[in-house]
């Protein structure tokens, strides 16, 4: 057995190493660093169809992450999805006529909300609402639309379907 002081130093080192590992996991391996700017304000938007949008999906403007989806609800009256977004406080100049769209990262990737800024001079504030929205593109709808188009062109032969 080593003497007490050496044991204490080694135990101290052990505790520090464990804490450092935990800190590393928290800051480097998880999204804590990104979320921790907990202060922010919330905006809502209504969509006809949110596809597979999930809570905590990113909200982006010009491709830059400015917040995340906080809550997804359903309106019993209008049959619309109500999405509440938490936007970081430093991005407080979103024009009130901005356009909220649901995009898909990659062909089959996860979905996120993209905001196209409008031209208004007044900014959205906490509790504000996007009036202009566009639902997510549902792959099945696109395929069936494509097939209907093909079918209606049935008479014209040998035409390149991608021509227009």
Interaction site with another protein (CB under 8 A)? 4, 7-8, 10-11, 13-15, 17-22, 24-26, 28-35, 56
Question: Which residue lies nearer to another protein by CB, 28 or 93?
Answer: 28
The Cα–Cα gap between 128 and 134 comes to 17
Provide the minimum distance between the beta carbon of 124 and another protein in the complex, in angstroms, as a whole number: 26
Distance, first Cα to last Cα, the chain: 83
Q: CB 94 → another protein: shortest distance, Å?
A: 23
Between 31 and 144, whose beta carbon lies closer to another protein?
31
Distance in angstroms (rounded) separating the CA atoms of residues 33 and 148: 48
d(CA 152, CA 122): 46
The tokens for 62 are: 């010009």
User: Which residue's CB is nearer to another protein, number 12 or number 117?
Assistant: 12
DSSP-assigned beta bridge partners for residue 134: 101
Q: How near is the Cβ of 96 to another protein at its closest, in Å?
A: 30
């Amino acid at each position: 057995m080593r003497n007490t002081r050496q044991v204490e130093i080694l135990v101290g080192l052990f505790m520090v190493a464990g804490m450092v590992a935990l800190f590393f996991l928290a800051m480097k391996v998880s999204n804590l660093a990104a979320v921790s700017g907990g202060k922010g304000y919330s905006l809502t938007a209504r969509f006809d169809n949110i596809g597979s949008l999930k809570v905590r999906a990113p909200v982006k403007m010009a491709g830059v992450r400015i917040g995340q989806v906080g809550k997804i609800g359903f309106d019993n009256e209008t049959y619309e999805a109500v999405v509440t977004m938490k936007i970081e406080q430093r991005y407080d100049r979103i024009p009130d006529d901005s356009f909220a769209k649901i995009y898909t990262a990659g062909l089959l990737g996860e979905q996120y909300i993209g905001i196209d800024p409008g031209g208004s001079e007044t900014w959205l504030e906490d509790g504000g609402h996007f009036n202009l929205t566009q639902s997510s593109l549902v792959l099945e709808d696109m395929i069936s639309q494509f097939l209907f188009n093909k079918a209606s062109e049935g008479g014209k032969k040998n035409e390149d379907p991608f021509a227009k």
